[in-house]
């Protein structure tokens, strides 16, 4: 930490008296005052005021306006920070004088200090009363000359620094200040001498006599004569080494936690890659097998295997999403999208799942909901899949319903989603914790598939989108989840080519170089490309891919990212550096936005994520070949 970051500017009203403490002010006959300009009220917490028979809160009215107070009032009304005046209370039982300093001022009030000039401490620093107060202070207290030499120190300061008082009198505070803190301290002292401030506080380090370092909190005020000549400084020094050590340990613990969180994120990303790569083979081969003419029984077995693989992929995605949410790396998009398309896609899938369980699925989607909006369609779909998926999962008989609408909220357009089921309901004691991680597993509902992360992810996604989610449920009767998301009106976009039309598009005879090191994935991709007549050539790594480009012409490249010898990002950069402009489509098991951005930055035109679906892959290739 730089020393400049440890300093503080002038304290707010009341800060310095609280920091220095009553014993300190009693020791040096200094009191703090606050004048409320609007109420014309002065707060003077000083026992000598009893002698002029006024309360500690002085309201300037004729009742209390003695000649002495009138002089003080006139000065208070016109004073500015840095001003000082001497007020003589000649009408007191025992006449006395005070030196008044203005430290701060704003539209409503001003504040500062006054010092009893009749106190013997100012006439003789060896006075017994002064020494008694000085030695009784709980923290280190010192009078410091303008050149930094110690004039008076108390026993607490001597013990703190490990020096005898006489040893300190032969030194200056500069001698024992850590060099990294000295410049900031001297700058603030000079500002006090120049009249730019009257007090300051900072944290700094002192060297003890034994050479060890201690951290202290330093509070300093400058004392001036009647003609405003700087005389000396009053300093209070509090040892905060224990506090600073605790802060250091806290920082270390925070850094350790961050490192652990990064290690966890890296592990999950690696796990994602290692699982998604074979999942491409599993799902891809099942798709190709289904297209090769199978019996009804075989088709049913293939669909069961596909469902299991999709469930495994969903679990992986849930875990990765939660890791991103915990690391603060999950971002929300704001793009134009057709809400009708989102609802129909979700409803088509969920209606099929409901039908498999013998449930009735209802979707009430008025025209107001089936419109173009601006937001994050993928995360809205994820929220719907999670809520509807849970509704189907925990409903054995009856219905699952989705109601959607848009309405004008207080500050923006709102998308309102309601998911209602006639399922088992949620006990009252679980409703407060239902959005916590792994809640399903903690409650032992192991007969249902899933991680128990769905509702936790949904709640955090809604929060990231600045929306709200509410639950109403009665055990044995069902549940209703209500989600309200702020959105904006969207602009209609040109419709993409439907996936079913890809096969009939002019892809036959096109040549694609596939750079992929995994043998299973090579077979899957070849099968997908063969369906539409694309001629595929394969390379094992980026270096081999660049060599094959020299001896043949291709219409596009499907480039894996993580490969031995030369990875896909390096190969793409070299390809672009050589001036090649044919489309390069990244093929990766890393599904994060950062990974996609890295691919595009390297020069790739697009990215498909493993495990890839045939329609997605062919649509992407078709899009770039048509361009």
User: Per-residue pLDDT tens for 61-102?
Assistant: 666 677 777 888 888 888 888 777 777 766 555 566 777 878
Shared domain check, 457 and 407: yes
Task: Choose the final residue of a domain: 181, 213, 239.
Answer: 239
- pLDDT level of residue 383 (50, 70, 90 thresholds): very high
| Residue 201 Ramachandran class (φ > 0 left, ψ -120 to 50 alpha, else beta) | beta
How many domains are there within the chain? 5
Q: What is the mean pLDDT of residues 558-562?
A: 93
Q: Is the model's pTM score more than 0.75?
A: no
Q: What is the CA radius of gyration of the chain?
A: 38
Shared domain check, 285 and 259: yes
Residue 208 has pLDDT above 90, yes or no: yes
Task: Choose the final residue of a domain: 219, 239, 259.
Answer: 239
Pick the more confident residue, 273 or 29.
Answer: 273
Shared domain check, 104 and 228: no
Q: How far apart are CA 25 and CA 595, in angstroms?
A: 62
Q: What is the pLDDT of residue 395?
A: 92
Q: What is the mean pLDDT of residues 307-312?
A: 74
H runs (alpha helix) in 117-240: 128-136, 155-161, 165-169, 173-176, 179-193
- Positive or negative, the Cα torsion across 451, 455, 456, 460? positive
Shared domain check, 522 and 429: no
Task: Choose the final residue of a domain: 302, 326, 350.
Answer: 326
Q: What is the mean pLDDT of residues 295-300?
A: 84
Shared domain check, 275 and 225: no
Q: What is the mean pLDDT of residues 448-462?
A: 75
Q: What is the pLDDT of residue 9?
A: 31
Q: What is the mean pLDDT of residues 207-219?
A: 95
Q: Is residue 163 part of a domain?
A: yes
- pLDDT level of residue 373 (50, 70, 90 thresholds): very high
Q: How far apart are CA 416 and CA 407, in angstroms?
A: 8
Beta bridge partners of 419: 402, 481
Q: Which of 90-94, 286-290, 444-448, 581-585 has the lowest mean pLDDT?
A: 444-448
Q: What is the mean pLDDT of residues 267-274?
A: 72
Pick the more confident residue, 306 or 519.
Answer: 519
- pLDDT level of residue 391 (50, 70, 90 thresholds): very high
Q: What is the pLDDT of residue 62?
A: 60
Q: How far apart are CA 542 and CA 540, in angstroms?
A: 7
Pick the more confident residue, 368 or 242.
Answer: 242
User: Using one digit for the tens of pLDDT, what is the confidence trace for 561-620?
Assistant: 999 999 999 999 999 999 999 999 999 887 677 788 899 999 999 999 888 888 889 889
Shared domain check, 72 and 178: no
């Amino acid at each position: 930490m730089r020393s400049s970051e440890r300093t503080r500017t002038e304290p707010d009203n009341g800060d310095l008296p609280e920091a220095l403490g009553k014993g300190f002010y009693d020791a040096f006959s200094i009191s703090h005052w606050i004048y409320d300009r609007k109420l014309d009220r002065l707060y003077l917490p000083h026992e000598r005021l009893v002698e002029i028979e006024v309360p500690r809160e002085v309201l300037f009215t004729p009742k209390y306006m003695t000649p002495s107070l009138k002089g003080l009032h006139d000065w208070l009304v016109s004073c500015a920070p840095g001003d000082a005046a001497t007020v003589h209370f000649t009408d007191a039982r025992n006449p006395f004088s005070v030196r008044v300093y203005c430290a701060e001022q704003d539209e409503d009030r001003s504040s500062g200090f006054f010092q009893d000039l009749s106190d013997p401490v100012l006439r003789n620093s060896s006075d017994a009363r002064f020494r008694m107060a000085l030695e009784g202070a709980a923290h280190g207290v010192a009078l410091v000359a303008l050149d930094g030499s110690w004039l008076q120190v108390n026993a607490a300061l001597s013990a703190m620094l490990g020096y005898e008082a006489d040893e300190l009198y032969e030194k200056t505070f500069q001698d024992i200040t850590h060099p990294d803190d000295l410049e900031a301290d001297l700058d603030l002292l000079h500002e006090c001498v120049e009249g730019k401030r009257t007090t300051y506080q900072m944290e700094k380090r002192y060297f003890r006599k034994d050479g060890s370092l201690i951290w202290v909190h330093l509070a300093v005020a400058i004392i001036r004569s009647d003609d405003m000549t700087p005389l000396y400084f009053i300093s209070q020094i509090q040892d905060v080494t224990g506090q600073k050590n605790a802060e250091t340990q806290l920082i270390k613990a925070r850094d350790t936690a961050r490192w652990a969180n990064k290690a966890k994120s890296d592990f999950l990303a690696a796990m994602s890659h290692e699982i998604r790569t074979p999942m491409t083979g599993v799902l891809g081969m099942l798709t190709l097998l289904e297209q090769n003419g199978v019996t009804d029984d075989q088709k049913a077995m293939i669909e069961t295997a596909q469902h299991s693989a999709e469930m495994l992929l969903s679990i992986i995605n849930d875990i990765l999403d939660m890791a991103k949410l915990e690391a603060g790396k999950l971002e929300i998009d704001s793009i134009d999208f057709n809400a009708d398309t989102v609802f129909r896609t979700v409803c088509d899938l969920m209606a099929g799942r409901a039908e498999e369980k013998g449930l009735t699925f209802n979707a009430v989607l008025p025209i107001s909901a089936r419109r173009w909006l601006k937001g994050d369609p993928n995360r809205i779909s994820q929220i719907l899949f999670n809520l509807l998926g849970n509704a189907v999962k925990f409903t054995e008989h009856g219905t699952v319903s989705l109601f959607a609408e848009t309405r004008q909220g207080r500050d923006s357009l709102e998308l309102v989603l309601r998911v209602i089921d006639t399922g088992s309901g949620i006990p009252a004691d679980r409703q407060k914790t239902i959005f916590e991680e792994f809640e399903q597993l903690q409650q032992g509902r192991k007969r249902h598939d899933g991680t128990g992360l769905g509702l936790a992810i949904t709640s955090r996604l809604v929060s990231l989108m600045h929306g709200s989610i509410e639950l109403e449920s009665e055990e044995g009767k069902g549940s209703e989840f209500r989600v309200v998301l702020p959105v904006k009106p969207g602009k209609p976009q040109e419709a993409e080519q439907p996936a079913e039309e890809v096969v009939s598009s002019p892809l036959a005879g096109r040549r694609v170089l596939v750079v992929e090191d995994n043998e299973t994935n090579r077979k899957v991709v070849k099968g997908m490309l063969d369906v539409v007549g694309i001629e595929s050539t394969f390379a094992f790594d980026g270096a081999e891919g660049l060599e094959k480009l020299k001896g043949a012409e291709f219409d596009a490249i499907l480039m894996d990212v993580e490969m031995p010898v030369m990875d896909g990002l390096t190969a793409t950069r070299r390809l672009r550096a050589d001036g090649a402009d044919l489309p390069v489509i990244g093929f990766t098991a890393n599904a994060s936005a950062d990974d996609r951005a890295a691919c595009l930055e390297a020069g790739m035109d697009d990215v498909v994520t493993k495990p890839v679906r045939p329609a997605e892959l062919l649509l992407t290739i078709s899009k770039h070949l048509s361009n």
